[in-house]
Amino acid sequence: MNEWKDEKMVTAGKKAQITRLKNLGKVEEARKLEDTLMNHVEMPKPAPPTMELRELRIKYDVPCPAFQDQFNSLPWVEKYRPVSLLTLVGPVAPYLRAYVKTGSFPLALVFYGDYGQGKTAGARAFIRDYYVNAKVFKGSATFMDVLHSVGWMPEYEGCWSPVLQVDATVTSDVEVIRDRVQTFMRVRAMWNDKGAKLKKFILFDEADRLNYASQGVLRSLLEKYPGTVTMYTTNRIEGLDPAIVSRAAGGVFEFRKPEKEALTEHLQGILRWECKSLQGNIVEEIAVASQSVREAVGRLQQEAAVGEY
C-alpha cells in the first residue's frame, strides 16, 4: 500500500511540475517530463481476446491492384506486401473483409502481434479496400494513393485525403499529436454517391510508443469525433491505454503466423507469379520453419535464387 501511495505521489508531483513549466513557457522541458510519466504509471494489461478466430471463406469482390512487374528488383517481402485484403493471409482477413463489405465496424481498431505478421499491411489494405468498395477511389489505387490523394474516381477529384498516418516512433509528442489529430478530425466528412457519410481514418503505427499524455489526448477525442476511425498497430498491446483498447471492443485482432496450409498456398502463389519452382517439399518446410509471413517470403526468395544455380 505504501508503494502504491508513493507511486501516486510521484505522478501527481510530476503533473503539477508539468503545468508549472508550461505556464512559464518552458514547453520543451514540460514535454520531456511528460515522456517520463509512463515510467511511473502502472497501467493494467488489457486482456487479449479469448475467442479464437475461425477460418472463414466469404465472397469478396473488391478490386485488387495487380502485383508489380515480376522482373523488377524489389525484395519479395516488399513486392508482395498485401495491398488488398484479398492478398492478406491469415484468419483475421475474412473478418476485415466482412467489415469492409458491411461498412459497420468499431470507431477504434487494434492490430497486435509479433513482428512480420502483417499488422501494418493489414491496416493499410483495410483502409484502401474501404474506399475502393465505396467507389471513392479507383480499383487500381493503393493505400499510398489514398494517403496522397491520387487515383480518385472522377466525381471526387481534388478532394483532400481522408487518411492521416502517424508513425509513433518518429512523432509521439503530445502537442504535435493534439494539433495534427484534432485538426484532421475537425475537417468535414465526405459522402458517397448514395448520400451515405463515409468514415475518415487515422493510422497509428507502433502505437505503444505513444506516451501516456498523448494516449490521454486520443482517449478524449475518440467519442468527440465519431466520424473518424482510429487504428493502432503494435507489437505490445500492454503498451496501449486500456481505455483505448476497451473502446475498440469487437475490433481487437491478434495477428499470428497463418496455418501451414494457408501459408504454403501463399508462397506457392508467389512462385507462380515469379515463374519459378522449387524441388521437393521446400515450400512446406519454409512454411513450417519460419516464424512469420515476412520471414517465410524472405526465405522463399533465398531458396528460389539458389535454385537457379
Does 107 reside within a domain?
yes
pLDDT at 142: 93
Q: Are 84 and 218 in the same domain?
A: yes
Does 231 reside within a domain?
yes
- 183 in Cβ contact with 129 (< 8 Å): no
d(CA 124, CA 11): 37
pLDDT at 5: 44
H or E segment at 67?
A: none
Does residue 50 register a pLDDT over 80? no
Count of C-beta atoms within a 10 Å radius of residue 93:
27
Does 188 reside within a domain?
yes
More confident residue, 5 or 286: 286
> DSSP character for 115?
T
- 211 in Cβ contact with 89 (< 8 Å): no
Q: Domain span at residue 282?
A: 260-307
> DSSP character for 244?
H
The mean per-residue pLDDT over the stretch 46-60 comes to 64
Does 130 reside within a domain?
yes
d(CA 39, CA 211): 10
Q: Are 216 and 117 in the same domain?
A: yes
The mean per-residue pLDDT over the stretch 267-271 comes to 92
Half-sphere exposure of 131 (CA within 13 A, CB side): 29
More confident residue, 25 or 222: 222
3-state DSSP assignment of residue 222: helix
Question: Is the pTM of the predicted complex or chain greater than 0.75?
Answer: yes
More confident residue, 109 or 59: 109
Q: Are 23 and 90 in the same domain?
A: no
Grid cell 502483417 in the structure block, residue: 118
Q: Are 91 and 232 in the same domain?
A: yes
Q: Are 125 and 31 in the same domain?
A: no
pLDDT at 301: 93
DSSP 278-307: --TTHHHHHHHH-SSHHHHHHHHHHHHHHH
pLDDT at 1: 41
Residues facing 203 on adjacent strands? 165, 231
pLDDT at 274: 87
Q: Are 247 and 268 in the same domain?
A: no
Does 71 reside within a domain?
no
H or E segment at 276?
A: none
- Cα angle 49, 50, 53 (rounded to 5 degrees) comes to 80
Q: Which three cell numbers stand for residue 61?
A: 469482390
- Contacts of residue 155, defined as CB under 8 A and 6 or more positions apart, other chains included, come to 193
pLDDT by residue (tens digit) across 104-124? 899 899 999 999 999 999 999
- Which amino acid, 184? F
Q: Are 251 and 269 in the same domain?
A: no
Q: Are 162 and 250 in the same domain?
A: yes
- 80 in Cβ contact with 270 (< 8 Å): yes
Does 298 reside within a domain?
yes
Does 81 reside within a domain?
yes
The mean per-residue pLDDT over the stretch 83-94 comes to 92
Farthest-apart Cα atoms in the chain, separation: 71
If pLDDT is split at 50, 70 and 90, which confidence band does 43 have? very low
If pLDDT is split at 50, 70 and 90, which confidence band does 307 have? low
Q: Are 126 and 15 in the same domain?
A: no
Rounded to 5 degrees, φ, ψ at 194 are: -100, 5
Does 50 reside within a domain?
no
Rounded to 5 degrees, φ, ψ at 114 are: -70, 170
> DSSP character for 74?
-
Q: Are 99 and 196 in the same domain?
A: yes
Does residue 268 register a pLDDT over 90? yes
Q: What CATH number has the domain bearing residue 203?
A: 3.40.50.300
The mean per-residue pLDDT over the stretch 187-194 comes to 68
pLDDT by residue (tens digit) across 197-218? 789 999 999 998 888 888 888 8
- 201 in Cβ contact with 161 (< 8 Å): no
> Above pLDDT 70, what percent of the chain?
80
Does residue 147 register a pLDDT over 90? yes
Counting the structural domains of the chain, the total is: 3
> DSSP character for 205?
E
Q: Are 156 and 239 in the same domain?
A: yes
Q: Which of 274, 295, 251, 292 is nearest to 107 (CA)?
A: 251
- 304 in Cβ contact with 276 (< 8 Å): yes
Q: Which of 35, 70, 62 is nearest to 214 (CA)?
A: 35
Does residue 161 register a pLDDT over 50? yes
pLDDT at 41: 45
Residues facing 109 on adjacent strands? 231
If pLDDT is split at 50, 70 and 90, which confidence band does 309 have? low
Q: Which three cell numbers stand for residue 112?
A: 497486435
More confident residue, 111 or 157: 111
Q: Are 285 and 247 in the same domain?
A: no
